Structure 1
Amino acid sequence: MPIPHTDVMPEAEFDTLTVSRGGGLPPAADLLQPVDELPEFASEPDLVCRRVRDELMLDGNARLNLATFVTTWMEPQARELMAETAEKNLADRAEYPQITAMEERCVRMLARLWHAPRPEQVRGCSTTGSSEAAMLGGLALKRRWQERRRAQGKDTARPNIVMGANVQVCWKKFANYFEVEPRYVPMEPGRYHLTADTLTAYCDDNTIGVVTVLGSTFDGSYEPVADVCMALDGYQAATGTDIPVHVDGASGAMVAPFLDPGLMWDFQLERVASINTSGHKYGHVFPGLGWALWRDAEALPDDLVFEVDYLGGSSPSFTLNFSRPGAHVVAQYYSFLRYGFEGLRNLAAQSRATARALAARIQAVAPYELITDGSELPAFAFRLAPGTHGFTVFDVSHAMRARGWHLPAYGFPAPCQEVSVLRLVVRTGFTAELAGMFIADLTEVTRNLHTARPAIAPPLKPLVTA
């Protein structure tokens, strides 16, 4: 029996849209149709594809985007696997058990990479990115605090969470969405992230946890997680209040294990209850994929985990969404198998070496001075030397954009609002040739700006970045 014809409209209805087949332009009237209204009729797929591609040409080149930490290059084999599994719903675990198995294997690999004392007891899941993973970590902190307070016969009305002013915006969203008071430890001149010496002044019995950042989006620096844990040990000894730590390792948790083996930041520290990372940053997967891991079942209360049984089988679920493609988990599994520990170390080392070399070259270009040098995350911030007149970092960013580079400029939050910087992120795929072209363009742009128009006013808000 022949398969019935399933076109949504008879082929003859498309005759007026076939002018593009010979390379001609569509009718002018068709070009003037509103772009924010659903068309009345279907169109030729090739024509629509060309229109979409033409519009996307106006976007920036992802490889020249030095603002983002997000992966912009993957091997062809990984791309193929993602294309082959894009239609598979990760939530439908009974139908696609092998993708679920791959997810569980990735969790175990990360648990061992992050020195979990008992990897088999670690609880973890994939997410759409570090923002979701961070919120899940925050929710677990809040629920543990609520349970502890109720067991003590105390109220749970005013939870707070302590973190540096440099945290990514997802933590501000968490505090807002889930009604937790954010307590930001402010920056100080020369200290642009959380340190152990001041944080306990912001803690009390209502503190659900302290967030530490392994790789600040502001300047690429690591926060001293071990020192923070030690300070909280002292705080518990003095007050009896036990405050857990969540490590936001969106970028650093996939860099430090390979390049900084002596750094204490992960589950080796008993106070670290949970860690999140982005598979789509230095995990070498296209966006969006994140991971959230908890030290053990005690760190993730059971009542936050739901059993889902209406897709043909029962499976646990702890996410803020439901349906999403399994392709990203498959790509992460491929990445882990493809590179192994040595390969991931080599990729991270190459990125860090490129970042440090770029930082050294930029420092030699007057009038720039470094805030960081790329020796932690493969990212660094730099600024104009005090006393520079005639142009600002915002002028530099604007001029580099005209040459195709996206080099972000932004101001730090109060009380360091007078500090404005440029930040450069090195990722896999940023070659030595690209680095050389970048330095050449930056040098020429800087030389031109010395005699250019008046400085551009800075934006009103600080950086928000992936």
Structure 2
Amino acid sequence: MLHKKDDIRGELLDEVFASTELSVSLPKYRMPPNEHLASHAHQLVIDELMLDGNSRQNLATFCQTWLEPEVRAIMAETLDKNMIDKDEYPQTAELEARCVHILADLWNSPEAANTLGTSTTGSSEAAMLGGMALLWNWRARRREAGKPTDKPNLITGPVQVCWHKFARYWDVELREIPMEGDRYIMNADEVIARVDENTIGVVPTLGVTFTGQYEPVHAVNEALDALQEETGLDIPIHVDGASGGFIAPFTVPELVWDFRLPRVKSINASGHKFGLAPLGVGWIVWRDAAELPEELIFDVNYLGGNMPTFALNFSRPGGQIVAQYYNFVRLGREGYRKVHMSCHDTAMYLAEQISQLGHFEIINDGGAESGIPAVSWKLKEGVEHPFNLFDLGDRLRTRGWQVPAYTMPKNREDLPVQRILVRQGFDRDAASLLMDDYRAAIAHFDAHPIVNSMTEEEAGTFHH
């Protein structure tokens, strides 16, 4: 026993990389038979993560990758809080409720003090809840009119995969408006051409995934008003504000897209995108309580008290919600405006610099009027290019940058584009360094033209 104690003492005093535990390869797909020192296991895991990309250089993601030290401290202090257990953590539940009312007010709800909404694990879950409310309300109207409920449909522009999931999971026909020529988003005419009595709702996106553009919510609303006058069809709108819901109110407050339009019944947004919160929080707010069917609300007698719940998840962390509330208090409307306008300014700088390279045509310049701080572009037609966008994206990865190149969805699959998301933490200096690497990459291809360019599958770095 004394000899074993000396062995253990020696192991504890070893420099971590001189230890016997790190001198062998541990099993990766089954548990090791014995325990290991915490410091050694920690070093092993951290070293493996070195192979990941640098998230700050990931210009593909919409998600927040820079956080204030105070937010990191909040996350550390709230790791043990289960959001669903409102009886044990009543103040965390209160902060969630405050966030819902803050968002309802931000989105101009006529009943902001009494509205219904909830946090979710992300905008996709929030979108699902919005879609479910549209579906349940449509079914109720159809049953009351004595009509069948077996062929619901939903109209969207080019959408992110969560709406495809919703349509498949709940057996709803997704009438996704395809891109045509230089039109990359929905418009009112395309919406009206697809509406019928089985339409549960229309979903414009405030910040389309592929280009960053805002879809014309106000124009769609007016077209649906005119349709109702002509036909009696009353079609509701759910706005997918995953990104733009946390940007437009601060940067273009005059843009009418939210609850100022009576036809807008619900809005979802992603707190961990331009809401500036850590990964793992989304939000949905309904115009008023009547728009959320009672059948979707469950009263759960569990964990010490009766709790109404209408999220798809149950247990989930509370730290992201607390951090979201911190951001609201910390930044206020003016702080959010400054952050997002700075991102727009950097995006427009990038658009100008990219257009000067001679190879590219800008689709969206990232300005506040056109959409979120996202720059998207394609190769110029009628110009010789010694590379394609997939080659360029692959070359930039040698410097750590992840700049996605991808083909557009239905009817424009022939069009490869590239896109940069400008988020908090990507400043003008970083943008100028990126442009230096763009120029170096193009100079490389000028000297070494690509004979057999990459395909999207071969690039393998990013897919919509």
- TM-score normalised by L of structure 2: 0.94
Residue of structure 2 equivalent to 1:458: 456
Match of 1:246 among 212, 223, 238: 238
Cα 1:112–1:17 change in 2 (3 A) is farther
The residue identity in structure 2 corresponding to 1:85 is T
Work out whether residues 113 and 257 of structure 1, in 8 Å CA contact, stay in contact via their aligned partners in 2: yes
Which whole-Å CA distance do the structure 2 matches of 1:281 and 1:266 have between them?
A: 19
Match of 1:131 among 97, 101, 124: 124
CA displacement 1:62-119 (0-9 Å, x = unmatched): 1000001100111111110111011110011000000000000011110010000111
Tell whether 2:143 aligns with 1:145.
no
CA displacement 1:423-450 (0-9 Å, x = unmatched): 0000011122111100000111012113
Tell whether 2:333 aligns with 1:341.
yes
Which whole-Å CA distance do the structure 2 matches of 1:334 and 1:96 have between them?
A: 17
The residue identity in structure 1 corresponding to 2:62 is F
Cα 1:18–1:189 change in 2 (3 A) is farther
Residue of structure 2 equivalent to 1:393: 389
Shift of 1:22: 1.6
The residue identity in structure 2 corresponding to 1:445 is A
Aligned to 2:235, what secondary structure does the other structure show?
coil
Work out whether residues 247 and 272 of structure 1, in 8 Å CA contact, stay in contact via their aligned partners in 2: yes
The residue identity in structure 2 corresponding to 1:400 is L
Aligned to 1:273, what secondary structure does the other structure show?
strand
Aligned to 2:182, what secondary structure does the other structure show?
coil
Tell whether 2:38 aligns with 1:45.
yes
Tell whether 2:422 aligns with 1:429.
no
Shift of 1:21: 3.1
Which whole-Å CA distance do the structure 2 matches of 1:409 and 1:193 have between them?
A: 19
Which whole-Å CA distance do the structure 2 matches of 1:254 and 1:90 have between them?
A: 22
Residue of structure 1 equivalent to 2:402: 406
Which whole-Å CA distance do the structure 1 matches of 2:417 and 2:160 have between them?
A: 17
Which whole-Å CA distance do the structure 1 matches of 2:362 and 2:147 have between them?
A: 49
Which whole-Å CA distance do the structure 2 matches of 1:392 and 1:94 have between them?
A: 57
Which whole-Å CA distance do the structure 2 matches of 1:96 and 1:456 have between them?
A: 53
Work out whether residues 390 and 455 of structure 2, in 8 Å CA contact, stay in contact via their aligned partners in 1: yes
Work out whether residues 243 and 372 of structure 2, in 8 Å CA contact, stay in contact via their aligned partners in 1: yes
Residue of structure 2 equivalent to 1:6: none
Cα 1:116–1:29 change in 2 (3 A) is closer
Aligned to 2:204, what secondary structure does the other structure show?
strand
Which whole-Å CA distance do the structure 2 matches of 1:271 and 1:198 have between them?
A: 18
Which whole-Å CA distance do the structure 1 matches of 2:44 and 2:462 have between them?
A: 32
Shift of 1:261: 1.0
Tell whether 2:300 aligns with 1:304.
no
Q: CA RMSD in A?
A: 1.9
The residue identity in structure 2 corresponding to 1:121 is N
Which whole-Å CA distance do the structure 1 matches of 2:12 and 2:89 have between them?
A: 43
CA displacement 1:123-170 (0-9 Å, x = unmatched): 100000000000000000000001111111111111110111x21110
Work out whether residues 20 and 47 of structure 1, in 8 Å CA contact, stay in contact via their aligned partners in 2: no
Work out whether residues 21 and 40 of structure 2, in 8 Å CA contact, stay in contact via their aligned partners in 1: no
Work out whether residues 169 and 464 of structure 1, in 8 Å CA contact, stay in contact via their aligned partners in 2: no
The residue identity in structure 2 corresponding to 1:429 is G
Q: Give the gaps of 5 or more residues in structure 2.
A: none
Tell whether 2:88 aligns with 1:90.
no
Shift of 1:14: 8.8
Which whole-Å CA distance do the structure 1 matches of 2:437 and 2:193 have between them?
A: 46
The residue identity in structure 2 corresponding to 1:141 is L
Shift of 1:23: 3.6
Cα 1:302–1:17 change in 2 (3 A) is farther
Residue of structure 2 equivalent to 1:360: 352
Residue of structure 1 equivalent to 2:372: 377
Which whole-Å CA distance do the structure 1 matches of 2:23 and 2:294 have between them?
A: 57
Aligned to 2:305, what secondary structure does the other structure show?
coil
Residue of structure 1 equivalent to 2:194: 202
Aligned to 2:113, what secondary structure does the other structure show?
helix
Cα 1:12–1:276 change in 2 (3 A) is farther
Match of 1:332 among 313, 324, 329: 324
Aligned to 1:238, what secondary structure does the other structure show?
helix
1:169-184 matches, cutoff 5 A: 169-184=161-176
Shift of 1:310: 1.3
Cα 1:17–1:253 change in 2 (3 A) is farther
Which whole-Å CA distance do the structure 2 matches of 1:168 and 1:13 have between them?
A: 59
Residue of structure 2 equivalent to 1:314: 306
Work out whether residues 69 and 427 of structure 1, in 8 Å CA contact, stay in contact via their aligned partners in 2: yes
Shift of 1:292: 0.4
Tell whether 2:258 aligns with 1:266.
yes
CA displacement 1:200-242 (0-9 Å, x = unmatched): 1111111101111000110110000000111111222222111
Residue of structure 2 equivalent to 1:257: 249
Work out whether residues 384 and 421 of structure 1, in 8 Å CA contact, stay in contact via their aligned partners in 2: yes
The residue identity in structure 2 corresponding to 1:430 is F
Further displaced range: 124-133 or 378-387: 378-387
Shift of 1:259: 0.5
Which whole-Å CA distance do the structure 2 matches of 1:298 and 1:56 have between them?
A: 48
CA displacement 1:176-201 (0-9 Å, x = unmatched): 11111111111111110111111111
The residue identity in structure 2 corresponding to 1:377 is I
Work out whether residues 396 and 403 of structure 2, in 8 Å CA contact, stay in contact via their aligned partners in 1: yes
Aligned to 2:334, what secondary structure does the other structure show?
helix
Which whole-Å CA distance do the structure 1 matches of 2:34 and 2:55 have between them?
A: 34
Shift of 1:453: 2.8
| Alignment coverage as a number of residue pairs | 454
Quote the sequence identity (%).
Answer: 46
Residue of structure 1 equivalent to 2:71: 78
Tell whether 2:173 aligns with 1:157.
no
Which whole-Å CA distance do the structure 1 matches of 2:240 and 2:265 have between them?
A: 11
Q: Give the gaps of 5 or more residues in structure 1.
A: 1-10
